[in-house]
Structure 1
Amino acid sequence: MMRTLKARMVLFCLIVLVTSLMLLVPTMQLPSGNEVTTRIGPRFWPFWILALLAAGAAVQLVLSLFSNAYEERPSKKEQTSSDKLTWLQANTHIVVFVATMIYLYAMTHFGYLITTPIFACVVSFALGERNIKRLALTTLVAALIVAVVFDFLLEIPLP
């Protein structure tokens, strides 16, 4: 089990790394910010996303190769009651999906500045954050990042 999981992780990291590096070549042919009228060109986001994806895959590949973290999990009979998941932990994917659908609907009625902080807070809570200060900080940072990226850099007005 351990070797299979480790081999799969290494293979996945290699595929992501090679694919992202291959996609960087055509990305470099897109116009930069100096060649267009907007502050950042069409090359900016694809380049940085692919570069960070390649870097993350490389780091994960190294960690996977030198890690002993791939251990067998205990069977269901061996699990204690403290190992059981809560409803929220077991259904996080559903909560995030429903929150996203509600967010998309509510944004058209209440606007970005009201719905985005609420959405960021709900999703952060669903993903396991319980510290109030970190929830508030995540909410604020999410709203600011999207406002700066869309309104200022891309010059797209917020809804």
Structure 2
Amino acid sequence: MVLLALVSLVPTLQFPSSAEVSTFIGPRVWPLTLVIALLGLGSALLLITWRDARRGTTYDDEPEEASRPQNDPVTAQRFALVSTRHWWLIAATVIYTWLISMVGFLIASIAFTLVGTLLLGARSWRTILITVLVATLLMQGVFVMLLGIPL
């Protein structure tokens, strides 16, 4: 992760800054923020891994879920969703990208947030509603108000 961040830093710094473009926040800000976060978190993970290796700490303990019989319907249903969740998220992202051109960014983003929240495991409708509302307000606030980009 640290190596990926360092390699990504060079092309990221070649993006124009906000002083070179007509927008308040330039195209370099978001990728540079992600690269710095990746570098920081990757370094922290590396240091923690080295520390645990010196201490001899292992993570081979069996979780409680593994002790449940494989033919248990609860385990089977949970395994089916967990083992394919990444494919559903990829499909949702592809559909979201297609929907943007059909219904617009805001409506497609609201639908994607709803589906993504469900796929990531939220079951309380209150939590789902709050997540969708906060995401919608953030999209409106960041793009329309902060960046001046109409949706």
Q: Same fold (TM over 0.5)?
A: yes
For the residues of structure 2 that align with 1:69 and 1:83, how far apart are their CA atoms? 26
User: How many pairs were matched up?
Assistant: 141
Name the counterpart of 2:37: 52
Name the counterpart of 1:6: none
Q: How big is the shift at 1:115?
A: 2.8
For the residues of structure 2 that align with 1:141 and 1:60, how far apart are their CA atoms? 30
**Which residue, 130, 133, 141 being the options, matches 1:137?**
130
Worse overlay, 98-107 or 34-43: 98-107
**Which residue, 75, 82, 85 being the options, matches 1:89?**
82
Structure 1: give runs of 5+ residues left out of the alignment. Answer: 1-15
Q: Percent of pairs identical after alignment?
A: 33
Name the counterpart of 2:102: 109
Name the counterpart of 1:37: 22
For the residues of structure 1 that align with 2:8 and 2:101, how far apart are their CA atoms? 35
Name the counterpart of 1:21: 6
1:61–1:83 Cα change, 3 Å: farther
> TM-score by structure 2 length?
0.69
What's the CA shift string for 1:90-120, capped at 9, x where partnerless? 3212322332333333333333333322221
For the residues of structure 1 that align with 2:15 and 2:98, how far apart are their CA atoms? 34
Q: How big is the shift at 1:71?
A: 0.9
Name the counterpart of 2:60: 71
Q: Which SS does the other structure have where 1:128 is aligned?
A: coil
Q: Which has the higher contact order (CA 8 A, sep 6+)?
A: 1
What's the CA shift string for 1:5-51, capped at 9, x where partnerless? xxxxxxxxxxx113313433454454432333211123212211100
